[in-house]
Amino acid sequence: MATSTTAAAEPPPAAGDRPPAVELAGITKRFPGVVANRDVHLRAEAGTIHAIVGENGAGKSTLMKILYGMQRPDEGTITVEGEPVTFKRPTDAIRAGIGMVHQHFMLADNLTVLENVVLGAEPKVPVFLSRGAARRRIRELGEAYGLTVDPDALVETLGVGDRQRVEILKVLYRGARILILDEPTAVLVPQEVDDLFRNLRELKQEGLTVLFISHKLDEVLSVADTITVIRAGTTVATVDPSEVTARDLANLMVGHELPTPETRESTVTDTVELSLRGVTVAGAGGKPALDSIDLDIRRGEILGVAGVEGNGQTELINAVMGLVDLVAGTITVGDDDVTTWSTRARREGRVACVPEDRHRDGLLLDAPLWENVALGQQTRAPFVKGRFIDRDGARGRTERIVRDYGVRTPGVDVPAGALSGGNQQKLIMGRELTSDPRVLVAAHPTRGVDVGAQAAIWDELRQARASGLAVLLISADLDELVGLSDTLVVLYGGRLVARVDPATTTLDDLGCYMTGTDPTGGPVGSEEPS
């Protein structure tokens, strides 16, 4: 593939005579059997926000790991502020002024903000931590960059946005001048995203350089000074956000039209398949994690649940699947009151589940694919005959799923851990949809899946819906929720705070509900579903 590093963007005037903050030239990184990065060229000017966009699996993360010293490139050079460097480990990168804010926060919940910030950067000689000096430093940094967090607050009491600010402070405290942010908006609601972007602009004004990894094109367009697009491991273009549209970027990213998750005509019937009444689940600290949830999902209906992660989604999934004890309430599937049923009984009663975290809850990574496909249906044909596993039956079903759902694998005997995330997800979707379900709980069905597979999964969900499946869809992707759902509810603090029509709602309104405010201004009312 030709590398067209079109330097369409002139360095912003603020850059002045400073050398580029980071320059990557000809970076190639091979893993056994795959080339993760191929001849990557990237030039981030000092004092700018430089976005790196690409699909999942395009090689963004590997590239940033190389820059942060977590991986070593096979070929190519890295130049930081004009100096050629070689990083053997992240410590080297930190010393060169590079800091990384990981997608998944790496904070100790039971320590204070201050303790988290100094963790790993404690003074070497004195035995005791100088909290005073550290607190002063954190305050200074906070004021300089608009990152206001109370240094003495316990991290476990902080919201997601504050936690992210702590992560950024941590990196600044170590003297970073170049910040790498890996998908920083993935866990934020729209309003928090705005706050983050304000912080990033302040960092930029203070002369810091931000490398911003994302696949959310609107965000990238609004915050970045320069955008580099990565496709299939290589840089395909560097563009100025003022000269491109989201659609241009999308085309650069994927090379074809972006699919949209739009559901066509309604297939909702009158028969209620899954019904929750007053479902309450205990949470930490006396506050229920789920509070009197009432829900009805009809045959042929997709009910979407929006909400910031950690507002009761996990408990909702666990409640439906029988993985958590209810404090109160009943759950009915069809005509069966399944409240006291075991997980196995519910699975056998044709309640299927695509779990939130496929590695944790959905797969046996070191077991072959066919054993993975049996998971959750190991009491049913074709996976068992009597009390024994039917290997041929399981292999046959697995081969069918591999074929029908486009799972890319050399065979059904390779361990599930050898597949890419997207293929693992396709395998799970296939497994659950071929289990002849009445109810499907689908949590983040397209998380970490490439665009092509995403469209296929959306299609499958729509088809299943058309054939009468009741789907409880939980997702962090608002486009997916709005596009697929027949009904959309918002979960906040363990309560259903809103029920909206996905056809008429706006992302802003959803964002308001998700953060516990009413878009019309008033306090949020618990809108009881009819």
Smallest gap from Cβ 423 to another protein, in A, equals 8
Element (H, E) at 429: helix 421-433
SS3 of 210, please? strand
Is residue 87 a contact partner of residue 65, using CB atoms and an 8 Å limit? no
Binding mask 333-362 for another protein (x = CB under 8 A): ---------xxxxxxx----x-x----xxx
CA gap 439, 410 in Å, rounded: 31
SS3 of 113, please? helix
SS3 of 75, please? strand
254 binds another protein (CB under 8 A): no
384 binds another protein (CB under 8 A): yes
Binding footprint of another protein, residue count (CB under 8 A) = 54
SS3 of 271, please? coil
8 binds another protein (CB under 8 A): no
400: exposed, middle or buried (C-beta count within 10 Å: 0-12, 13-18, 19+)?
middle
- Looking at beta carbons only, is 327 or 367 nearer to another protein? 367
- Looking at beta carbons only, is 120 or 417 nearer to another protein? 417
| Beta strands across the sheet bearing 336-337 | 290-298, 272-281, 328-333, 336-337
- Looking at beta carbons only, is 65 or 165 nearer to another protein? 65
From the list 488, 421, 506, 483, the residue with the least C-alpha distance to 258 is 483
Quote the distance between the C-alpha of residue 387 and its chain's center.
Answer: 40
Pick from 108, 144, 414, 466 the residue near another protein by CB under 8 A: 414
- Angle, alpha carbons 136-139-141 (nearest 5°): 110
Of residues 137-196, those binding another protein (CB under 8 A): none
SS3 of 360, please? helix
- Looking at beta carbons only, is 258 or 365 nearer to another protein? 365
CA gap 316, 329 in Å, rounded: 12
388 binds another protein (CB under 8 A): yes
Is residue 409 a contact partner of residue 420, using CB atoms and an 8 Å limit? no
412 binds another protein (CB under 8 A): yes
Pick from 186, 365, 455, 507 the residue near another protein by CB under 8 A: 365
- Looking at beta carbons only, is 36 or 490 nearer to another protein? 36
- Looking at beta carbons only, is 399 or 527 nearer to another protein? 399
- Looking at beta carbons only, is 299 or 426 nearer to another protein? 426
- Looking at beta carbons only, is 419 or 449 nearer to another protein? 419
Of residues 415-434, those binding another protein (CB under 8 A): 415, 417-420, 423
Pick from 218, 413, 459, 479 the residue near another protein by CB under 8 A: 413
402 binds another protein (CB under 8 A): yes
**Cβ atoms within 10 Å, residue 243:** 10
Is residue 44 a contact partner of residue 16, using CB atoms and an 8 Å limit? no
CA gap 278, 293 in Å, rounded: 5
515 binds another protein (CB under 8 A): no
Phi/psi-derived region of residue 183, left when phi > 0, alpha when psi is between -120 and 50, beta in every other case: left
- Looking at beta carbons only, is 396 or 519 nearer to another protein? 396
Pick from 88, 124, 264, 387 the residue near another protein by CB under 8 A: 387
406 binds another protein (CB under 8 A): yes
Binding mask 23-52 for another protein (x = CB under 8 A): --------xxxx------------------
- Looking at beta carbons only, is 410 or 522 nearer to another protein? 410
Of residues 307-336, those binding another protein (CB under 8 A): 321, 323
129-149 b/e (C-beta count within 10 Å ≥ 16 → b): eeeeebbebbeebbeebbbeb
371 binds another protein (CB under 8 A): yes
SS3 of 109, please? coil
409 binds another protein (CB under 8 A): yes
- Looking at beta carbons only, is 206 or 357 nearer to another protein? 357
Bridge-based pairing of strands 388-389 and 351-354 is unpaired
Hey, what are 148's tokens? 């206001």
Smallest gap from Cβ 355 to another protein, in A, equals 6
Pick from 84, 120, 175, 411 the residue near another protein by CB under 8 A: 411
Chain residues binding another protein by CB under 8 A are 31-34, 321, 323, 342-348, 353, 355, 360-367, 371, 374-376, 378-379, 384, 387-389, 391-392, 395-396, 399, 402-403, 406, 408-415, 417-420, 423
